[in-house]
Amino acid sequence: MQFKQDGAAMGGFNLQKYFLSKNLKKDIPSSIVVFLVALPLCLGIALASGAPLFAGILTGIIGGIVVGSISGSQLSVAGPAAGLTVIVFNAIATLGSYETFLLSIVLAGVIQIILGIIKAGTIANYFPSAVIEGMLAAIGIILIMKQFPHAVGYDVDFEGDEKFAQIDHDNTFSGLFSALAKINYGAVIISAVSLAIMIYWPRFKKLAIVPAPLLVVTSGIILSLLFNGTDFALRAKQLVTIPVVNSADEFFGLFKSANFSAIGQKQVWITAATLAIVASLETLLSLEAVDKIDPIKRISPTNRELVAQGTGNIVSGLLGGLPLTAVIVRSSANVNAGARTKISAILHGMLLLLSLLFIPKLINYIPLSCLASILLMTGYKLARISLFKHMWHNGLNQFIPFAVTIIAVVFTDLLIGVGIGMLVGVFYILRTNMRNPYFYHIEKSSNKKVIHLKLAEEVSFLNKAAIQVTFTGLPKESEVIVDGTNSRYIDPDVLEIIRNYKHNAYTRGIIVQLKGIKDKYDVPRLKELIYSPAN
């Protein structure tokens, strides 16, 4: 089923569905939400990366328009990622100039396209469900903790939306305590009003045609203006800041070109490979997570996504932007805002471009506290209590990898945390597989026990230990029937154990009969698995 859907997503492009009124009335408001969420994140990531602020917005524009147009995912949103900030910061310093770093981005994009062509995106199918759910919940918790300081007016510089440790040697928890010690009551009032709007406005069905986040931003601007000259006045750092351009020359002067003369430098290629691998992993993780929260449960083509991301990175490197990935924060906001198609992501990129060109001064009036309230609601939806209850009821083999992933992501960063969660998740998968290689049945014939072991359809090397232990524990003076009639594949190591047991079991008075077991098994092909009569 997944193979067919991926193929359809790769091959077909139904332009008409993107302009249906039922989709547009969801996609247009959603694009506004994503735009409002993306704007401060683009600026903050550029700041934390040691890059020009314009580079952050440019990357968001490219992620929306270029990647959004090519991608096969309907709800994923691409842009600069906080998970790459440390790599970018160090790479710019190591390479000596921003222009040389841009060349690494271009080369990383080429590598990603190659990965997509050789179908490396299928690695996403091997992420355990519990780990993906844990990553989403962890992102929600981090969003709440990272945005709380902005919600109460603690005017610190942005230090990443996915990392526990910060560039200023602070961390998420110490940031929370610092925020509580330096509350700005004007920001608190704006946050409280914004949260009330986010919670209650959608309940008024007739009025909800106006998106709640748009109302949040409007009310935030009005309140911040009213607070001027009072004790509740906001400081400059508590407002959005984007570059203000007054002419075409100033605008085009913001772009930078990659330094292709450095293409022979070893460090350029090392940086490119690092960016390509990390960005691709983050993209695949985000894509898998977004597909899980997609109300329609569509399956995004992962290989096509790598090609789209690679194309976006080439364009970003050529124009002076930052490396980009599919990002879970903006994608989650897109889903929660009710988006239906990729038009939402594309429009958010266009809004970023228009805001930079025509209304930078107006955008700079938006309080960070009202934007924080939008992300607080997104974080709550990702880490809702009902999700924890659901995972607990699924059993410890699901809940433990889920909980470990949350803790690891919160206290490290996205990739390290997911890597730890994957190890725990794979452990439980291996344990489950080791316990289920066969069906065990004991019969009595005269005075002798007849033990019937019916092997599963797929018996891999993971089942080797379990079968060996079972053979060792079988009682003496019994008859054992090893039945492989239903097995499509038995690993050579397991076959060797079965044959050795048959040849040596007589020493314990055990008679072994092999039923339906071949001398050799070929690995089933994909088409055989999809179209076999059993399926």
Q: How does residue 157 score in pLDDT terms, banded at 50, 70 and 90? A: very low
Q: Is 202 helix (H, G, I), strand (E, B) or coil?
A: helix
Q: Which helix (H) or strand (E) holds 354?
A: helix 343-358
Q: Which residues lie closer than 8 Å to 219 by C-beta, 6 or more apart? A: 190, 193, 194, 197, 370
Rounded to whole angstroms, the Cα distance separating 25 from 234 reads 35
4 C-beta neighbours (distance < 10 Å), count: 10
- The SS3 assignment for 493 reads helix
* Segment 86-134, tens digit of pLDDT: 788 889 999 999 999 999 999 999 999 999 999 998 887 777 888 888 8
Q: Name the 3-class secondary structure at 532.
A: coil
Angle, helices 53-62 vs 21-49, to 10°: value is 150
The most confident of 26-35, 328-337, 342-351, 507-516, by mean pLDDT:
342-351
Q: Name the maximum alpha-carbon separation found in the chain.
A: 99
512: enclosing H helix or E strand: strand 511-515
Q: What is the DSSP string of 301-340?
A: -HHHHHHHHHHHHHHHHHHT---EEE-HHHHHHHHHTT--
**What is the distance between the alpha carbons of residues 346 and 354, in angstroms, rounded to a whole number?**
13
Residue 51 CA to residue 43 CA, distance in Å, equals 10
Model confidence at 305: pLDDT above 90: yes
Is this prediction's pTM over 0.85?
A: no
- Tokens standing for residue 329: 């924060």
> Are the CB atoms for 201 and 219 separated by under 8 Å?
no
Residue range 263-292, pLDDT digits in tens: 999 999 999 998 998 899 889 988 988 998
C-alpha 118/C-alpha 217 separation (Å) is: 45
Give the pLDDT confidence of 162-188 residue by residue, as tens digits. Answer: 455 555 555 566 666 666 667 889 999
Domain chopping of the chain, boundaries: 23-150+168-407, 436-531
Instruction: State the pLDDT at residue 176.
Output: 65
Average pLDDT over residues 307-312: 97
Which residue's entry shows tokens 């998970």? 83
CA separation for the pair 144, 163 (Å, rounded): 13
pLDDT digits (tens, 9 = 90+) for 362-415: 888 989 888 888 878 878 888 889 999 999 998 888 899 999 999 998 888 777
pLDDT at position 496 over 50: yes
Taking domain 436-531, whether its CATH number is 3.90.950.10 is answered by no
Q: How confident is the model at residue 441 (pLDDT cuts 50, 70, 90)?
A: low
Question: Which H, E and C letters describe 463-481, residue by residue?
Answer: HHHHHHHHHHHCCCCCEEE
The pLDDT confidence band at residue 3, using thresholds 50, 70 and 90, is very low
Query: Can you read off the two tokens belonging to residue 390?
Result: 């659901």
Instruction: Quickly state the pLDDT bin for 435 (edges 50, 70, 90).
Output: low
Positive or negative torsion for Cα 264, 268, 270, 272:
negative
Average pLDDT, the chain: 83
- How far apart are alpha carbons 281 and 303 in whole angstroms? 12
